[in-house]
């Protein structure tokens, strides 16, 4: 089993990812050669699996690239195109991938005017020039490991949350509730949903199920790998 997920990071270190991809498979061949020399009977089998690849590199395995013993290419996160892959050098968007999994979490509280403990009046003062800070919205369990993408008018609380940015996104000062702000004109109330675009495809293992929607109708429910996840705790969340 090999892995070449580091290849696309090459430009960040002044390295050519194309050259590194070739070098990876050269090293892979050396390992296979060494294995065949040490265990000739085992390596004489025709059903051996030589695995490599990943969501960042699967598209490099084309019919024009044949100088490799690899005969099995792994790909997982690319199937749901999480945020980290869409904005990385891998740029799955350019390959025709679309986000497939979003987190839906309900609004627990709508507070007008928005306030922050110990500094009452501070946010209302800021809201005089920034209407997006007029109302506070608390969401159940926070946005999880995701970027909030809807409603688009929501902003992170400038005091308790980290501010806008790329994945991973926090903003959960209470541990089980995240605070975001919006203007008085935003039509968002208790029980309405806030949607987040997941950062990592592997995060789905933390939730119990995924609801498959088509034309605004739930058409199926899929179990995740959570029951086999050793570090997921006892959280029961649902993805949509």
Closest CA to 139 of 123, 128, 150: 150
Domain boundary among 60, 75, 90: 75
Residue 229 included in any domain: yes
* Final residue in a domain of this structure, among 75, 94, 117: 75
Domain assignment of residue 62, yes or no: yes
Q: Is 96 domain-assigned?
A: no
Q: Are residues 107 and 206 in the same domain?
A: yes
Give how far the C-alpha of residue 16 lies from the chain's centroid of Cα atoms, to the nearest Å. 26
pLDDT score of 170: 47
- Beta-carbon contacts of 29 under 8 Å, excluding residues fewer than 6 positions away, are 68, 69
Write down the pLDDT at residue 235: 45
Under 8 Å between Cβ of 3 and 52:
yes
Q: How far is residue 226's CA from residue 232's CA, in Å, rounded to a whole number?
A: 7
Same domain, 146 and 233: yes
Residue 92 is assigned to a structural domain of this protein: no
Q: Do 131 and 209 lie in a common domain?
A: yes
Question: Tell me, what's the pLDDT at 69?
Answer: 92
Question: What is this structure's pTM?
Answer: 0.71
pLDDT per residue rounded down to tens, the chain (240 residues): 888 888 888 888 899 989 999 999 999 999 999 999 999 999 999 899 999 988 888 888 988 887 899 999 988 888 888 877 766 656 788 888 888 888 888 899 999 999 887 888 888 999 999 999 999 998 876 555 677 889 999 988 777 665 555 554 545 555 567 788 999 999 999 999 988 888 777 767 667 788 888 888 999 988 876 555 555 554 444 434
Among 211, 198, 200, 202, which Cα is nearest to 238's?
211
pLDDT at 56: 83
User: Residue 65: inside a domain, yes or no?
Assistant: yes
For 40, phi then psi, to 5°, come to -60, -35
- Give domain status of residue 216, yes or no: yes
Residue 18 structural domain = 7-75
Per-residue pLDDT, 75: 85
Query: What total of structural domains would you count in the chain?
Result: 2
* pLDDT for the residue numbered 62: 86
φ, ψ at 105 (rounded to 5°): -130, 135
**Is residue 45 in some structural domain?**
yes
Q: How far is CA 143 from CA 53, 194, 201, in A?
A: 30, 8, 15
- CA neighbor of 139 nearest in space, from 167, 103, 166, 112: 103
> Does one domain contain both 106 and 205?
yes
What is the CATH number for 212? 2.40.37
pLDDT value of residue 230: 53
The predicted structure's pLDDT at residue 153 = 93
């Amino acid at each position: 089993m090999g892995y070449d997920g580091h290849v696309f990071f090459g430009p960040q270190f002044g390295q050519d990812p194309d050259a590194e991809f070739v070098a990876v498979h050269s090293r892979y061949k050396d390992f296979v050669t060494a294995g065949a020399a040490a265990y000739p009977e085992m390596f004489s089998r025709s059903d051996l699996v030589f695995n490599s690849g990943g969501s960042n590199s699967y598209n490099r395995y084309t019919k024009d690239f044949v100088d490799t013993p690899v005969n099995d290419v792994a790909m997982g996160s690319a199937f749901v195109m999480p945020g980290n892959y869409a904005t990385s050098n891998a740029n799955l968007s350019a390959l025709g991938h679309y986000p497939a999994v979003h987190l839906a979490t309900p609004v627990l509280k709508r507070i007008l005017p928005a306030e922050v403990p110990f500094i009452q009046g501070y946010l209302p003062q800021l809201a005089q020039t920034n209407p997006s800070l007029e109302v506070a919205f608390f969401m159940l369990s926070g946005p999880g490991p995701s970027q909030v993408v809807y409603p688009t008018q929501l902003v992170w609380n400038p005091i308790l949350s980290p501010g806008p940015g790329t994945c991973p996104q926090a903003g959960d000062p209470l541990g089980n509730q995240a605070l975001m702000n919006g203007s008085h004109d935003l039509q968002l109330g208790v029980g309405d949903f806030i949607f987040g675009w997941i950062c990592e495809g592997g995060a789905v293992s933390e939730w119990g199920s995924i609801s498959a929607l088509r034309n605004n109708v739930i058409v199926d429910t899929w179990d995740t790998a959570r029951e086999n996840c050793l570090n997921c705790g006892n959280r029961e969340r649902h993805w949509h």
